[in-house]
Structure 1
């Protein structure tokens, strides 16, 4: 069975669950005026909330796809990434440069297993 939640603007669901795997839509920061570190912290806080609401947590992340508008700011994003995750619990990851994220500096897509 496929479970979908968080219909957004009639174009996507925030989370789709299948066989204990959670697939998340892209998540951006909540304030475009923040710098890379601030937007990254906002994204990760939202991911934490969505994971908890769907029976998981960041220790169960499987993969992350990160889009940034300026690869020169990747070190700032990496600093927050290392603060957020435990070294032994890192998911796979790709970071891709993107020319336009509608004014945001970062967008993150994650997949996670449900806890337990």
Structure 2
């Protein structure tokens, strides 16, 4: 096993807890779950609705991946956490494929939770693989 590499992306979202944006080992990159906060205005109100929050989370994940030379095409697995699972699951499913190339969706688990940091409706973490 190779040494662990801890990544903090200077332009990345401000962490809402003590963590690295990503940790890498043996070509795998584990990206911490991101929130729908704006890196340019981290104290601004969150976007309204599941679609807008999911888009902001994916933008934040892309910032982290870009900061280590990867993109969404390198994602192998995603975990999605929803606070309003029954209400938001269908809307999330309709939006999800738009972030990836057709026919190249990562493996995925979606979990209903009672609450998320900063009052978010959605949080997503990723596992990516270096080519």
Say yes or no: TM over 0.5: yes
Determine whether 1:14 maps to 2:21.
yes
Q: Which has the higher strand share?
A: 1
Over the aligned positions, Cα root-mean-square deviation in angstroms equals 1.8
Check the 8 A contact 2:6/2:23 in 1, yes or no.
yes
Query: C-alpha separation between the residues in 2 aligned to 1:5 and 1:59?
Result: 19
Determine whether 1:93 maps to 2:108.
yes
Give the alignment's TM-score, normalised by structure 2. Answer: 0.80
How many residues are paired up? Answer: 115
- Note the alpha carbon deviations across 1:20-66, whole angstroms, 9 max, x for none: 11101111101424210000000111111211111211111010010
Counterpart for residue 37 of structure 1? 51
Query: C-alpha separation between the residues in 2 aligned to 1:10 and 1:36?
Result: 22
Counterpart for residue 74 of structure 2? 60
The Cα shift of 1:87 comes to 2.6
- Greater CA drift, 82-91 or 95-104: 82-91
Structure 2 residue runs of 5 or longer lacking an equivalent are 10-14, 38-44
Counterpart for residue 123 of structure 2? 107
Poorly superposed stretches of 4+, deviation over 3 Å: 7-10
Query: C-alpha separation between the residues in 1 aligned to 2:102 and 2:90?
Result: 17
Give the alignment's TM-score, normalised by structure 1. Answer: 0.89
**Residues 65-84 of structure 1: matches in 2 within 5 Å?**
65-71=79-85, 72-84=87-99
Structure 1 residue runs of 5 or longer lacking an equivalent are none
Counterpart for residue 2 of structure 1? 4
